[in-house]
Amino acid sequence: MKKKAMALVMAAATAISLMAGSLSVSAATDPDTSAEKKIKVLSIWAEDSADGKILTGMLDNYTKDVNPNFSYEYEYVSASDLSTKISTLVASNDLPDLFAYSAGVPLRELIQAGKVVNVSEELKAMGDEDKVMDSAKSIMTSLSDTDDLYDLPFGMNIEGFWYNKSVFEDAGVEVPTTWDELLQVCDTLKEKGIQPIATGGSDKWPTTRIVNAYAYRTMGADAVKKACEGETKFTDDGFVAAAQMVADMADKGYFGEGATTVDNTTAEGMLLNGQCAMLYDGSWFTSSITDEETNPSGEDNIGFMGVPVVDESVSEASELPANCGNILCLSQDKYDGAMAGFLQYFVENVGNYAMGDYQSVRGYTYDVDTKDISSVTQTVIDAIADAKTSTAWWEAYMNDETKATAQDNIQSVLNGDMDGAAYMDSIEEAYTISN
């Protein structure tokens, strides 16, 4: 009898502990703003870069203003080594408390393995759901293919063509609003001996973004996502036409000679120095535009024209490629009250801190005065505000193998070694083999 009672008690205790265990997985953690903790931060931003200063500034301010018992160890790793570093840390079950990572397929793997904190759940419990911009939320959940946020934005970028105003004026051309006009402008510039567009073909991604620009303008914002989910094929006519468009533009010499040897920084320099008329780039380019050292001709000489429209019924003019850059994640294993305290402070303050001190939109709401900010930053802010919908970049939904093929072979397209159809065939092949 005693044994039976004991067994019952044990069973009840086990059941309760199991329930408590399952509850603790789904329930949010209460922030603890006095707990002693030293966290590890893995970042791809050097401490003296603007991004690094914002991140360390937030960490320092939290220690100074809120929790003096909180400290951190900042480790820098180059962006190209980030995925290797994270996969090694995952394998050894030692993800840092806070780390930079890539949105899309890499993050999805961590979510599926339960390695990262459900940020939405935490923010909801803190009452800070509205601190992350809705546009950032929709980009990030679409990339991770989840309803909840599992990452924090650390940027809010839009992309499109930038142009050198004085080069346009000298050549007597107007800013194009449709893709046909863009091609006409390119022809005119070419005739006048001006390189129409610079593209960082050596870095590869700046050129795939142009394929993406034409693809989403002709096929809709979700074209690449559908192909990556197997709904459509990369060899569909629309994609082939987009790749062929870039091949034709390269063939006509719009990108200049040897575009595959030019990196994006050089291409940016070419636009700023008037060695070309246009450049496709993201809004992170504003930091170079506003820097007198890199742009001696002044920020007013550079304008943003977005992506010319092809068919307004498919994609409206205000719809632009947007992304949150590299994102921040929190390790599930290391997450506790002390970390929750920092998370709360971070989302509540980073928007104002980044805008107030660095004139930078980071994907968080802010209410500081933006009167004194530069005109080019204001253009970006307005474009973000105007965009009701957005699209991702070319490789956003691709797995690593497909992404590498898409990027490597764009150089062959620029060289004329591959036409649009062959380029899209190679992507479809990589997609099929890797899946």
Chain residues in the site for another protein (CB under 8 A): 83-84, 87, 90-93, 109-110, 112-113, 201-202, 204, 256-262, 266, 269-270, 275, 399-401, 404-405, 408-409, 411-412, 414-415, 417-418, 429-430, 433-434
Chain-centroid distance of CA 108 in Å reads 15
Q: How far is the CB of 65 from another protein (least distance, A)?
A: 37
Q: How far is the CB of 354 from another protein (least distance, A)?
A: 30
CB 247 within 8 A of CB 419: yes
Q: What are the tokens at 414? A: 């620029």
Q: What are the tokens at 341? A: 């305290």
Q: How far is the CB of 139 from another protein (least distance, A)?
A: 24
CB 333 within 8 A of CB 342: no
**In terms of Cα–Cα distance, which of 72, 65, 74, 61 is closest to 34?**
65
Cβ-based nearer residue to another protein, 199 or 359: 199
CB 292 within 8 A of CB 301: no
Q: From the CA atom positions of the chain, what is the Rg in Å?
A: 24
Chain-centroid distance of CA 231 in Å reads 24
Q: How far is the CB of 164 from another protein (least distance, A)?
A: 14
Q: How far is the CB of 104 from another protein (least distance, A)?
A: 13
Cβ-based nearer residue to another protein, 155 or 200: 200
Cβ-based nearer residue to another protein, 241 or 404: 404
Cβ-based nearer residue to another protein, 109 or 145: 109
Residue 130 has what DSSP assignment?
G
How many CB atoms lie under 10 A from the CB of residue 187?
14
Pairing relationship of beta strands 302-306 and 98-101 according to DSSP bridges: unpaired
Q: How far is CA 333 from CA 42, 116, 225, 354, in A?
A: 15, 8, 31, 29
The residues with which 100 forms a beta bridge, in sequence order, are 328
Q: How far is the CB of 255 from another protein (least distance, A)?
A: 9
Q: How far is the CB of 262 from another protein (least distance, A)?
A: 5
C-alpha dihedral sign at 47, 50, 53, 58 = negative
Pairing relationship of beta strands 157-164 and 278-282 according to DSSP bridges: antiparallel
Cβ-based nearer residue to another protein, 202 or 287: 202
Cβ-based nearer residue to another protein, 62 or 162: 162
Cβ-based nearer residue to another protein, 266 or 370: 266
Cβ-based nearer residue to another protein, 317 or 422: 422
Cβ-based nearer residue to another protein, 162 or 353: 162
- The H or E element spanning position 187 is helix 179-191
**Measured between alpha carbons, how far is 232 from 241 in angstroms, rounded to an integer?**
15
Q: How far is the CB of 158 from another protein (least distance, A)?
A: 26
Q: How far is the CB of 409 from another protein (least distance, A)?
A: 5
C-alpha dihedral sign at 264, 268, 274, 276 = positive
**Measured between alpha carbons, how far is 110 from 124 in angstroms, rounded to an integer?**
21
Cβ-based nearer residue to another protein, 109 or 129: 109
**Measured between alpha carbons, how far is 67 from 338 in angstroms, rounded to an integer?**
9
**Measured between alpha carbons, how far is 199 from 395 in angstroms, rounded to an integer?**
17
Q: How far is the CB of 15 from another protein (least distance, A)?
A: 31
